[in-house]
Each structure stands twice: as C-alpha cells, then as structure tokens.
Structure 1
Amino acid sequence: MDYYSVKARQRETAFFRRAGPGVSFRTGTGRTNTITEITEDVVFFQTAKSKRPARISRQKLRDALRHMYVRRSATRREMERYAAYNSALLGLVSIILAGLTKITRTVRGLLRLTMLGIRYFFSGCERDPKALQIVRQQGGLMALMSYHWLRKDTTERWMSYMQDLGFTAQDEASVLLDSGAFSVWNAAQRGADVEITVEEYADFIERNKHWLWGWMNLDVIGDDAATRRNYEYLIARGLRPIPVWPITGSLDELARIVEEDHELVAIGGTAIQLQRMQHRKVREKLTAVARRFGRVQNFHLLGCAVIGILKEFAHILVSADSKAPTSVTGNGRVITKYGQRQAKELEREERTIRSVREFVKLESYLPQGYARATQIAATF
C-alpha cells in the first residue's frame, strides 16, 4: 500500500470512528444526504428523493480520497470513475477531509474540491540522485524533471533513481515534466542553438506517461503564437498539457487560458524576475491574478523558492517548484521560512536537508483565514 493509500485509509477510518449513522452531508449539487448505516465494506445513506438508502463502497470511497491526496483537487465529474453517485461521493469526501479543503466553482460552474497547502515539486534532481534521495528521505513526494535534460539520458537512469528510492508501482506517477523552455531560453542568451521539437516532446510523454503526474506545455518564451501551436499539437495527440502563462503576459491572455477550464494553470517567468530581485513585481502580478481568477482557477508557480511569496498566495496556489532547495546549498546557503542565509558552518548535506524540510512543510500549510475554519470543521 503506497503513501497516498495509507493516508486515505487513515483519514476515512478516523472519520467513521467519530461520525456514525445520523451524520448529514451536502452533496456536490447542494442536497442534504444522511448516513444511515456503516458496515465494514459499505456506507449507506438516505437522499431526499430515494425511498431506500443508497450505497457507496468504502473501497471506492478510499480510492476517491486517494485521488485527492495525489491530484490535490477534483470536480464532481472526476468522481464518476469511483461511484455512480458522484455528487454524493464528492460531498462525503468533502466532509471526511473537512478542514483540509476548500470548495470553489470552475469557470464553467462545476464544483471543485481542492486540498489546502502547496505541493512542492523539487526540480534539478534528474542529474543528482543524492539530492533526490534527500528529498525522499525528508518527506518530499514528487519531483519536477526537465525534458531538456531527460532527453539526453538515453539509458533512462532517472527511472532507476525513482525506483531505487521507493517510487514503486502504485506510487510511480511522481514526476511533473517541464518542457525545458527556460533552459532553451537561457542557452539562447548565451548564443547557443538548442532546439526542442514538440514532436519529440510528445513522443517522450507517450513513452513515459505512467511515470508522469502531469506535463507542461512546450512554451516558447517570447513567442505566444508558437506556444499556442505547441499546445494545440499536444491536444491533437491526446496529451492535454498544463498550459503555461508567462507572468509578464497580459491578464486577457490568461483569461483565455482559464476559459478552457484546466485542472491547473502554470505561471512561468517568475524565476527570471526573482533572480533580478524584482519581488515587488511578482507580488503585484500575482495579486492581480488572484483578484481576477482566484475563485475559479488553481495555479502552479514555476521556479519560485521564496517561501514568503508562496505562503502569501497559498489561497490560489496548489503547487510550485524550484531547484533552489537543493542547489543554493552548494554556495554555502540554506533556505529558511524567512529567506536565504549563509550557513557555511553546516555541511552541504545538512544545508540541503534543512532547506528541503521547509518546502515539504508547505503541503500542510493553511492559508490565512483557514486555520479557524479547520478548528470548527474538526468538531463536525
């Protein structure tokens, strides 16, 4: 049983120890259902319309909870794979995860249940098995890997690294694939000619899909038209990517992306601005994004290792990534919740361990305003 299955079983078991027959919950469509009986295998509940209690398998319920721990969000439609009563299932999952989730509506009006906290994908580990080992040992669940580097790994050693560290069969969709667009852009700034074609990128995704939690669009920095063509090509191949919107782009362009109703939209270009110490610009743009789209869209922040910014915008961020937690330590620095500081008195491995821990904690971070709600929800 993998990590996510264990979490799902523990949460479900703890809930039914405290909540028995008579407990009511609201469905995804707003109706009230009441639990009438709980057996070892089945939950029975009464709806307003049914004469006899309906039922949901507890195994299917645990599968749905596992989905939430893995994907971090779900709509009523996405619950269809687990039970015919998908609206009731979403409501039941919501009450079991009370205090750990928020409920919003997508741009098309579907209810979406989203886990609070920020899933952190540690990047830069595709060529550094030691860093990947530290991430796993400190509780890191997933990694972001760049196709820019993976395409050069003809022996596919990265898979061996993942397997050796315990990313086993039930738990192997643990890699968020980045297209490598930033690396291509960096190379171009140095005068190097590096090309990644969308055809080869799509072929790689198809070969390794079982390892991938998701994949970014092959964006072309500074060329919105080429980025869009790549997106449409991947869609045509049946490989719907996570779209990437540059933080320097227009909110109207982001609105067009949001209207397509994605599970997740990535915000790129922050690494460049943060490297230039343009924190204020990043905050201003993220504030504008939150005001306009925060109620209908979940976001991933690419290339951000500033914990203050991540916490400030945790109400719209489901996930984020950066290589900084494992790379800045080579310069004698450590990342804390207050920022980076020199720590040359510590061995590099210890600096990496301390930095990684800070980002692992983000998964259980509650945005401002949700802590009180969690205390209330704990009483049912």
Structure 2
Amino acid sequence: MHFERMAVRRMRNWFRKNSKFRTGRGAIVNVVEHDSRRVYFKSANGKMVNTIELYKLKAAIRDLFARRTVTRKQLEVFSNFSSALLGLLTSIFKGMSKLTSGARGFRLTVIGVRFFFSGCDRAVKDLEVAKANGAQFVLMSYYYLRNDRSGNWRKHVKRIGLKVMLDSGAFSVWKRQGAGKDVQEIDVRDYAKFVLQHQDIIHSFITLDVVGNHEASAANDAYLRSLGLSPVPVFPAMADLQDLEQLVKDDHEVIAIGATVGMKEAAKRLLFAQIFAAFPDQRFHWLGGSSSLINEFPWFSADSSTWLSGRKYGKLMDEQFKTTKAPDSMDGLTALAHNVRILVGLENKRVNQIEAQDEQIIAASALSA
C-alpha cells in the first residue's frame, strides 16, 4: 500500500538525519545505533541501552495508520518501552500527526479526514466501485441490516474487503415514526448482540440514542459499555456544549456530532467553530458531513451518501465539495468512481502535502550540491 511505502521511507530518512527524539513528557532519548533488526537507544541521563525490534516498529506504524489514533498504552503490545516508541513515532511523522494528552494519557493522531461511505447498505455494485477506487470504510445502518436474515450484507463486505462503521438507525426510526409509520423500535440488547456477532468487520459503532430522551440514551450507552463495548457517543448539534465537555473529559477515541442535517450552512459553520475552539484536541466524526466544512475544520472522520450523486444524477464532486454535471460521455458508475477518489483523498491529504514538501527539499539540495 502507498502509506506503507511512505512510512518506511520516512522511517529510513529519519534515521539518516536524526539521532535523538523526545518522549511525550519531553525527556530526551538518544539513538545509539540501528541496524536491520533493531533500534538501540538510551535516555539522555541513563546508561542502559534499550532496544525496539524494527519489525515491531513497522507494525506500530501500520497500526497507527490503520487506527489513525493510538495511545501510549495501546503501543505496549509492540514494545515494553511504549513511551520511547510513541516519541519515536511522533518524531518520524512530524507535521502529519499531532500529540495530545487526555484522561487516557498521551495520544498520537494522524492528521486527515477518514471518510466512511454511507447509503450503500444494500447496493453491492456501489460497494464494489468504492473499494476498486480506494475506499476501505463504509457506514451501514443497523436499521436496514437487522432484518437481513441471510447475512448477504456481511458476505459482500467480507468478499469485497471493507470495514464497517455501524449506525444504530435510531434517527431513521424517529423520522419514520414522525411520519406516522409503524416502525419497530430498536432494542439495545439486540443491537449489542449484533455488534458482538460481527466484531471482525465492524470498525466502530454509534451508540443507540433515543431522539429527544437523554435519560434513555444514557441508559442504552451504559448497557453497551457494561458489556465491555466502546460505542461512539453522539453529541446532538443543538445540545448544550457543557454536555459535550463531559464527553471530551472522558477522552473517547472519537465523538460523533449529529443532527446537523437540515441546518443551514452558516449555522453549522458557527457551531463547528465553537466546538473546535473549545475542544481543539478532541477527535470528532461528522455524521452526514458532506460540504466544504469538512475542509474548514480539523475533522477526524466523516460520513455521507453524497458520493452516490455520481451514479444517481451524474454529478461530479471536486475537493471543495462543489458539484458539476458530468460529461454526456461519462456513465454513472464512472462518475461514482470519481467521487470516491475525491473523498478517499481526504484521509492522506496532509500526508501527501508533507511528502511533496520533503521531495522539493531533497530536489533543491541535490541541485545545490
């Protein structure tokens, strides 16, 4: 994969140019030497030389880019010297990652927006086109999947090779009930059972909210966590920011911002400006995010079904989320593929910018030599 080549190249270049780095707490660590198997290092004030296996370092890099965010604690599976490993990763990926500290300790997060392609719960061809053009993650709704007794959705996700963010579908239930339709409520026990059954392909899952009932939502979330699960909490757009403050203090890996569908763009911009100003280090997922506001704020991830406009309406998206009519010669699936590539590019946009800058520096150095 492209990121693996990039990561190995950055790692090798870092060792050629550097001999020291800092841990999250600022302690200086000196690299004594490195070879094809290990990195040898010691603290600036210490005498003992410690090591990190090179294959473990590479594994930690893969994990970082797979998760997009890791804590020092999570790095313990790769090395007993997790603080040094975190400091090394921070130094190697300087400019394309951010080190923060919260209730769960130090955390390193790769800059960029991971996009989850939604609206394709039952559209196999769309899933195939998405994967063929770089997509790795999709958002699917339990509301639709719960009645798929044959498990076709799972078969296709496994076959194609995708990871799923699972939405509870609570908003879909609420919306249909509001329209006077007889809709089966979502039972939190059934939801939990479904998540546990499909953990191998579920990347993450949204907690089961009850629209307009904070107490019931909190009870559902508590039940899911009592099972050892880690649902993504949701902050409704019109709620009090003090409620969000408590979620941030809990240092969740990601917090979803919901209920923005239908809000005017100016109102969303104002809300997001307040959220990111108050909590600049928190990782937020924008539920139903599909406008240029993805570029205006440092989102961790987002999802939307807007990409499907390529197939449905022949609309092409650009990097600013503006749409234009596709040429008459372009069919719907080709337009769909174009939109996928645009949104996939959000994840490594910052990484690619840093890489391009580094290449320019190397080229300029070569010319002046």
With the length of structure 2 as denominator, give the TM-score of the two structures: 0.90
Distance in structure 1 (CA, Å) of the matches to 2:308 and 2:265: 21
Q: Which residue of 1 aligns with 2:308?
A: 326
Q: CA deviation at 1:337?
A: 2.8
SS in 2 for 1:272: coil
SS in 1 for 2:51: strand
Contact 2:209 2:217 in 1 (8 A): yes
The residue identity in structure 2 corresponding to 1:332 is G
SS in 2 for 1:132: helix
Aligned residues: CA RMSD: 2.5
Distance in structure 1 (CA, Å) of the matches to 2:310 and 2:249: 38
Q: CA deviation at 1:15?
A: 2.1
Q: CA deviation at 1:363?
A: 0.8
Q: Which runs of 5+ in 1 are unaligned?
A: none
Distance in structure 2 (CA, Å) of the matches to 1:126 and 1:190: 22
Matched, 1:64 2:60: yes
What are the superposed Cα offsets for residues 138-168 of structure 1, whole Å, 9 maximum, x if unpaired?
1112111111111121111122212322x2x
Matched, 1:189 2:184: no
Distance in structure 2 (CA, Å) of the matches to 1:111 and 1:366: 22
Alignment of 1:231-246 (within 5 A): 231-246=221-236
Q: CA deviation at 1:374?
A: 8.6
The residue identity in structure 2 corresponding to 1:348 is G
Q: Which runs of 5+ in 2 are unaligned?
A: 363-369
Q: CA deviation at 1:217?
A: 0.3
Distance in structure 2 (CA, Å) of the matches to 1:40 and 1:229: 52
1:258 to 248, 260, 263: 248
SS in 2 for 1:131: helix
Matched, 1:208 2:198: yes
Q: Which residue of 1 aligns with 2:78?
A: 82
- Could you say if the C-alpha distance between residues 301 and 21 of structure 1 is closer, same or farther in structure 2, counting changes exceeding 3 Å? closer
Instruction: Judge which range, 260-269 or 187-196, deviates more.
Output: 187-196
Distance in structure 2 (CA, Å) of the matches to 1:67 and 1:161: 25
Contact 2:255 2:285 in 1 (8 A): yes
Contact 1:8 1:63 in 2 (8 A): no
The residue identity in structure 2 corresponding to 1:192 is K
Q: Percent identity?
A: 33
Q: Which residue of 2 aligns with 1:102?
A: 98
The residue identity in structure 1 corresponding to 2:280 is G
Q: Which residue of 2 aligns with 1:198?
A: 188
Distance in structure 2 (CA, Å) of the matches to 1:321 and 1:292: 23
Instruction: Judge which range, 48-57 or 230-239, deviates more.
Output: 48-57
SS in 1 for 2:350: coil
The residue identity in structure 1 corresponding to 2:124 is P
Alignment of 1:237-316 (within 5 A): 237-273=227-263, 278-295=264-281, 297-306=282-291, 308-313=292-297, 315=298
Distance in structure 2 (CA, Å) of the matches to 1:374 and 1:56: 29
How many equivalent pairs are there? 359
Distance in structure 2 (CA, Å) of the matches to 1:21 and 1:334: 43
Alignment of 1:1-380 (within 5 A): 3=1, 7-8=3-4, 10-17=6-13, 19-20=15-16, 23-106=19-102, 108=103, 110-165=105-160, 167=161, 174-194=163-183, 195-273=185-263, 278-295=264-281, 297-306=282-291, 308-313=292-297, 315=298, 317-327=299-309, 329-338=311-320, 339-343=322-326, 345=328, 346-366=330-350, 375=357
What are the superposed Cα offsets for residues 14-46 of structure 1, whole Å, 9 maximum, x if unpaired?
422552486111112211112122122211112
- Could you say if the C-alpha distance between residues 9 and 83 of structure 1 is closer, same or farther in structure 2, counting changes exceeding 3 Å? farther
Instruction: Judge which range, 185-194 or 66-75, deviates more.
Output: 185-194
